[in-house]
Chains A and B, each alone.
Chain A
């Protein structure tokens, strides 16, 4: 029976997040944590496949000890088990180091299908999913908006494009990154919540996932964040008022004045 690994990230609730302007980093203290919203769609996709095929679902995340609560939330929705990749060696990792660690954990789990959200709402890089596939030497399909068919050896999906969609088929094992259009994530169930309360969450460090500590965390990160800042507004905006005709006239006059017309 197939095992599906779902990679999730615990992120600050965007509605509440603020930036420390002195350090340029996110202020996480006192901000409620949620499962990255795109990852909720990844979990739902895995659970739907589980319901159809009986596949097992393992959720995993890399993060500090408190990220365990995100894994329990996923179990309360119906995932079978959670794996927390955690330890000091992982701190300060960029997308490459994070992918390396998650790829190591997935190798140990032995998943036939890996599903990730298309990106995290805090970093917005959309790199980790595809990088994991690269480390594991398997195909990846990004921006999946519909799963048409999946069995033990292949998967066929619709991939969202700027204009329309592609139908893509891949041999398994493969990795998907998914978009909001894919599904509506379910709420937890009572039986799920009770299971989540009792669940043993595996905690793996670099040694357990068979990856050199040099390749993860700060040491394994070729990129470093230099500065995070809110771009200054560019200015020079003007809102036109009056009737549609008046607005049009003003617009044309201004464009002529600025030699655009």
Chain B
């Protein structure tokens, strides 16, 4: 399908695709096996300017939007979701600064982020606060010119590897969700350490760890926006980033289709390549159709975000929900098409299936996405839209 990309957009897609094919595919199996962080690949992405895609030109970026980011994420995801998660989580961590940061904060952090010199992570989830962000227990107490942070964030992507963390903490317990605030915490700040690195089912090249704050003192100017804005910062950040998770779904689904099709054309049973059998053909046809539908929705949502639309919550939730459910289904069916070979680690599709599962869980489970979409529907109906 032709999505009428501009010359620059095609360039971005092709370069990300080249990096995926030349630098990611050859090492993805080893990174997965060893649960090794893709440091070398991040260096390549930095050198290729891909970290600066969505950052304004005045801060050293390329000034592109969600759509261009989606194109890059999709290409990387065709090769390895562990790698694309590391890349996309950097954008997730950057959005609070990009969307709500002061000019000083932007000047201080964005140029290094755009150059890929400093990786970023976003810290929201805690042991008792996942889908229910209102359950956050990490606190930030203002003492003179400093905030003092205490608490533990868990399952933080890029935890330990990132240099800069955007973290949500409670500044006023009495106010509930309106008592949360967003902060920038730099790695190496006294009182800020990392807990255990998690062992995961998939996306094993990405790093996931706890962030531990014990009387961690940060300058007052590291507060993003105002006190009490934390929940809004988090929600707007997720609105922007979820479409990227949708792009991950499209990418991994396409990667799985490519593998299954290649295999089905070569594998001979009953004297014919199995691609000639209708049972296989119908599976492949459904996989391709669903993936194309997911791509169209993700691209439309990304372009909607880039149009400057005010409320993108429903669109980005739909894109995330649909594309990641498709990803799970398509990667599972790719394993099925390839049969015993598909189940073996010698072929990449079992990893794609393991990796795809996280897409239905992180950045808001797909059940939460349905809640979000339904709330938007109800709100729109009440407004008489």
Contact = CB atoms under 8 A, between A and B. Distances in A.
Contacts of A247: none
B47 interface: yes
Interface string B18-57: 1100110000000000000000000010011110110000
Interface in A182-221: 186-194, 197
Contacts of A186: 44, 47
Contacts of A197: 7
Contact of A187 (B7, B8, B11, B19): B19
A194 B6 CA distance: 13
B368 interface: no
Contacts, number: 32
B22 A187 contact: yes
B18 A190 contact: no
B12 A190 contact: yes
Nearest to B52: A190
Nearest to A186: B47
B15 A188 contact: yes
A193 B47 contact: no
B22 A191 contact: no
A243 B376 CA distance: 74
B284 to A, nearest CB: 29
B283 interface: no
A187 B62 contact: no
A187 B52 CA distance: 16
A192 B47 CA distance: 10
A193 B11 contact: yes
B21 to A, nearest CB: 11
B40 to A, nearest CB: 10
Q: Interface size class for chain B?
A: 10 to 19
Nearest to B45: A187
Nearest to B48: A189
B18 A187 contact: yes
A188 B11 CA distance: 11
A76 to B, nearest CB: 9
A233 to B, nearest CB: 30
Contact of A190 (B22, B23, B44, B50): B50
A40 to B, nearest CB: 12
A194 B11 contact: yes
Contacts of B19: 187
Contacts of A190: 11-12, 15, 48-50, 52-53, 62
Contacts of A192: 49
A209 B325 CA distance: 63
Interface string A170-191: 0000000000000000111111
A187 B49 contact: no
A187 B47 contact: yes
A43 B372 CA distance: 52
B73 to A, nearest CB: 15
Contacts of A188: 15, 48
Interface string B53-82: 100000000100000000000000000000
A190 B54 CA distance: 13
A191 B62 contact: yes
A121 B11 CA distance: 28
A50 to B, nearest CB: 13
Contacts of A193: 11, 15
A192 to B, nearest CB: 8
Contacts of A191: 49, 62
A189 B8 contact: no
Contacts of B47: 186-187, 189
B22 A189 contact: no
Contacts of B7: 197
A193 B49 CA distance: 10
The 8 closest A-B CB pairs, nearest first, are A190-B49, A189-B49, A189-B48, A191-B49, A193-B11, A187-B48, A186-B47, A187-B19
27 contacts: A186-B47, A187-B15, A187-B18, A187-B19, A187-B22, A187-B23, A187-B44, A187-B47, A187-B48, A188-B15, A188-B48, A189-B47, A189-B48, A189-B49, A190-B11, A190-B15, A190-B48, A190-B49, A190-B50, A190-B52, A190-B53, A191-B49, A193-B11, A193-B15, A194-B8, A194-B11, A197-B7
Given A187-B15, A192-B49, A194-B11, 13 more contacts: A186-B44, A187-B22, A187-B44, A187-B47, A187-B48, A190-B12, A190-B15, A190-B48, A190-B50, A190-B62, A191-B49, A193-B11, A197-B7
